[in-house]
Structure 1
Amino acid sequence: MITHTPSWHDDEIAAVSELASDFFRREVVAHAERWDAQRHVGREVWRRAGELGLLLCSIPEEFGGGGGTIAHDLAVFEAQGYSGDFALGLSIHSGIVPHYINEYGSTDQKSTWLPAMAAGEVVGALGMTEPGTGSDLKNITTRAVRDGDHYVINGSKTFITNGSCADLIVLAVKTDPRAGAKGVSLILVDVRDCPGFAVGRVLDKVGQHGADTSELSFTDVRVPVDNLLGGQEGRGFGQMMAQLGQERLIIAAQSVGAMRRAVEETVRYTTERRAFGQSVFEFQNTAFELAECHTMAHTGRVFFDHCVEQRLRGELDATTAAMAKYWLTDRHCEVVDRCVQLHGGYGYMREYLIGRMYEDARVQRIYGGTNEIMKSIIARSMTEDTRGTLHSTPTSA
């Protein structure tokens, strides 16, 4: 197969990738039936990831992180995609929540939470989506009312990754319901001893059965005012918009890894499986289908690497991140679907990795902002360019 080594993938990144791949194989995939049955990954897996240095790779060492760049984190997330199992909510815990704290938190907030998250002792979640809002974050209704030196929080969230296992939630709330997007704030909520906080259903999803995805409710939950992120009310929407590009790049990384694994698994299966006196791979249709899938996976890899290099230079804008998220997750679903077809009836069996990958892939096009929203961001950037070219301009959505 064609190989492609991007400039950002140096020896150190390659070592992280290899370590992460071995971790997912031994600690997550090998116990998939157990995680599926209990709908969450055991806490010992989080601690093991922390021991190996696979958590918070790009958070500064002074706060317990790995001191690397986002490239180190992305190598872990790509390895997760390649493993074919999305049960561990690593992208939220390691790639998103700590960056909100590191970017907008006080020194005390960083010192309190980041070392424990890096060790896997504290699991993080992001509380944004609500039953009635979906991706419309400026119209959330969860309310935080100032009462002396506390906020009193009431509301509910849904589709929350790591929701039932979380110790810490970065919670999006309305501190001023009349101010639209300018009334949104982010508050750190320690839910380990939190009267009024409750976990509702752990949701029964089409795929990613081992992943903890939950409903949460807050009834007169009291949180210290010092837990506000950014030190001032009304900054939450801007903080979320600034971080969404990284979230979308993380999702793209997982899709890149998954496409590569799907093609490899299907080449192996079709070369071993025989029908009508020859291997399934020797049929022209099989060879052509896999040639197209391999080309999509390779093209996606090159585009993703370009995005990573832009991100490392501080040049990745919201439009290009949206392109990566939409295009790579669409191709991810297409490649896996075609690989299932080449497995025949066995492709529809969950005992085969490709069947589980098929279930898990579909939601990639939904979370992190639906792909329809990604296309809206891209289209808006085209009309905003007064020079009439397709140059990508930063947008917020």
Structure 2
Amino acid sequence: MTRFWVGGYGPDMEGDADGVGFLSADEGRGPSSLAFRGVAAPASSPSWLAAHPALDVVYAALEGEGAVAAFARAGESTLVPLGPRIPVGASVCHLAVAPDGRSLIASSYGDGTVTRLGLGGDGQLQPAVVDQAAALRAAVFGESEPEPGDPHAASDPYPTPFGEEPRASHAHAAVFLPDGRIATTDLGFDLVRIWRPTASGLARDHDVVLPRGTGPRHLVLHPSGHLHVVTEYSGEVFTLAQGEDAIWRLAAATPVSEIVQVGTDFPSELSRSRDGATLYAGIRGSNTIAALRVRGDGSQVEPFALADAGVNWPRHHLLHEGVLLVSGQRSGTISAIDVDERTGAPRDVRHTVVAPTPTHLLLAR
């Protein structure tokens, strides 16, 4: 049996999900047997899910509460709470777990907070650790004590035009880099931010400023070492490259699709094939899935295919064994789309499943 956990919006986020859902397909029958099997763990709007790399533990961003919760699998289709929920920031919308399983990054859309939480040996969440030596220096010498998540360090790199309201910081996603640093997106300030983990949480390393009004949302690390970033407002994929000085810079940009309409289409999730040859972007508005080829050294990206997502408002998608599973937030459905094994292009919708306000899909162990 192939199993998936399903994140969703509940009543506190104008949805009808009762918690983390369970989706499964019968062995040997493929996507046509996919069905929503019910609630695996009651929770309030677990809009994003992340898995521990070694343990059977799932973390949920409780977006309405502004907290993170941990769950341990207790059966084929059941998750049970693992320790207390940890408050992070307003409208926490994304989680990324470190490859070593020792920490977690929470990105909060509401207040721009980027927070690092520790993870125990059993996977349980731990509050951000404050450097006790730094705290002692602060008390004795009056030095500033660093904040665990450095939540207020972001500032708008662009001046506010006369007559307009100042923009707000909106942290939206994170990815761990091979050198141990972390990259996060700030959709509100058009930034990709690079962080260094410290004993106190996070320290800002440097920022990459994207063009004003592009709205960087999600990002993926390519096998070539490049970062690909999809923008919600301008409908583009920006490619970042790291220089010999360890500074990340903009290398290239391309439209998500040749027919994307700015102001009408709003890209959401960005994913890649296992070999990195293809990127997939969900596009809310036109409700499509765009496929882009990655060429050359990994910095060249070009759109080559566009397919019906089979859902309304494709918030997230997951590529699994030649099938794209797409969660439709507004349609309350999950579609299964065939992917051409030769070209990587998305094709026809094979199957559709009814699910309560689905926002995220996670392959279960």
TM-score range, shorter chain: under 0.3
Q: Larger strand proportion, structure 1 or 2? A: 2
What TM-score comes out, normalization by structure 1 length?
A: 0.22
Larger RCO (alpha carbons 8 Å, 6+ apart): 1
What TM-score comes out, normalization by structure 2 length?
A: 0.24
Q: Larger helix proportion, structure 1 or 2? A: 1
